[in-house]
Chains A and B, each alone.
Chain A
Amino acid sequence: MSGAHLAFATFLGVALSLPGCAATPARPTFDDLQVIARGQDSGGEFCSDFALTVAQARTFFAKSAAVDAMTLHDRYDLLPCWVRGTARDARGLWRWEIRAGGTARLESPAGDVTLLACDACDELLGGRARR
């Protein structure tokens, strides 16, 4: 199974057991995905042009995998620029945030949060991503 397929399987909520991966709760189908805001925390001037289209956000989630907090901290950088959005499914409204360094948070309608990271999203997240 390729990395992309593996990530996509995780994206669909298939139960997987990988070192460093968090328990994977079910995820939304992202049929109704919307980008609602983008911005930056302090020190984020250099990535202030970070933006994603709906299609790019969908690709990010397809390529990303769930990770636990310790793995996220040890292996990934938390960049100060973000794009936030929502997704809706039968369970309700999901909220998400993707950061310019390839990390993300996905919050279920019940308030449970899954941390995500993408190892193959450099091109997607570059300054050229905006359309």
Chain B
Amino acid sequence: MADEAQIKDGKLISSRVADRIQSGIEKGSLTTVHALVVHQTGAATSASSFSSYQAGQNGAHFLVDTDGSIFQTARVDQKCWHVGKIRAKCQEMKACAPDELKSINAILFKRGESYAVRIKNLHEHESDKSYPDRYPTNEDSLGIEIVSAFNERTDTYDAVNKSQNDSLAWLIGTLERLLAIGDADVYTHGSIGYKQKSEGSTANWKRP
């Protein structure tokens, strides 16, 4: 019998998902989910992530372990801090209206501000836009973490393995179906934020 996953009280109910919800990383009500963001943890084991979650700071809604096990770590009707500052989507897509590009450049090139302040101001500017005119933020997205070590010598994340990609494909397909999210609404963290651009680049959730 097929496992018909469903969401109940913010929990994804399925034999493929283990409930490991960490209330400390839940940061308030999430009323709308527009998108999914795929992350890599930067540590070789899920234990590192759970240890970090217990500190109650950053976290995501799901964690895919190295063997493909899926843990739900926060309810899908709760916000998590997983995105950070976002880039300007229209600028990245080379699709800004002239006035909007002028506004973005005024923020990014503002003299007398540190670069860190400029991207903070850009994030705030972008956050005022409606989705999908901007990238998703903590306010309207779910995060999926894939357990992957970060190799400091090569400055890259370990590649997402087959078991993880199989689980990721199932999880994203299920969330898309249950939350009415489209394929275009799934992002890698490296493509939307000021992080390693390669973060999530080896994740492959698209079934052949």
Cβ contact within 8 Å between A78 and B196: yes
Please tell me the number of chain A residues within 8 Å of chain B, measured between CB atoms.
Answer: 34
In the assembled complex, the Cα of A69 lies from the Cα of B40 at a distance in Å of 11
Stretch with Cβ within 8 A of B (4 or more), from A28-36, A83-91, A120-128: A120-128
Cβ contact within 8 Å between A127 and B194: no
Cβ contact within 8 Å between B43 and A78: no
Cβ contact within 8 Å between B152 and A113: yes
CB within 8 Å of B: which A58-97 residues? 68-70, 72-75, 77-79, 81
B67 contacts chain A at the CB level, 8 A cutoff: no
How many A-B residue contacts, CB cutoff 8 Å?
88
CB within 8 Å of B: which A90-131 residues? 100-102, 105, 107, 111-115, 122-123, 125-128
- Report the nearest A residue to B59, measured CB to CB: A74
Among B48, B108, B118, the residue within 8 A (CB) of A70 is: B48
A110 vs chain B, min Cβ distance (A): 10
Cβ contact within 8 Å between B194 and A105: no
Stretch with Cβ within 8 A of A (4 or more), from B6-14, B15-23, B84-92: B84-92
A47 contacts chain B at the CB level, 8 A cutoff: yes
A45 vs chain B, min Cβ distance (A): 8
Q: Which residues of B contact A122 (CB under 8 A)?
A: 114, 116-117
B155 contacts chain A at the CB level, 8 A cutoff: yes
Q: Which residues of B contact A81 (CB under 8 A)?
A: 115
B129 contacts chain A at the CB level, 8 A cutoff: no
Q: Taking A69-B150, A73-B42 as contacts, is the C-beta distance between A127 and B112 under 8 angstroms?
A: yes
Cβ contact within 8 Å between B114 and A77: no
Cβ contact within 8 Å between A77 and B58: no
Cβ contact within 8 Å between A77 and B117: no
Cβ contact within 8 Å between B114 and A69: no
Q: Name B residues whose Cβ lies closer than 8 Å to a Cβ of A.
A: 41-43, 48-49, 52, 55, 57-58, 84-85, 87, 92, 105, 108-109, 111-119, 149-150, 152-153, 155, 193-197, 199
Apart from A113-B155, A126-B114, A126-B115, list 19 A-B contacts with CB within 8 A.
A19-B55, A43-B87, A47-B115, A69-B42, A69-B43, A70-B41, A72-B42, A73-B42, A73-B199, A77-B116, A77-B119, A77-B195, A78-B194, A78-B195, A79-B115, A79-B116, A79-B194, A100-B115, A123-B114
**4 closest cross-chain pairs (CB), A and B:** A46-B108, A69-B150, A113-B152, A77-B194
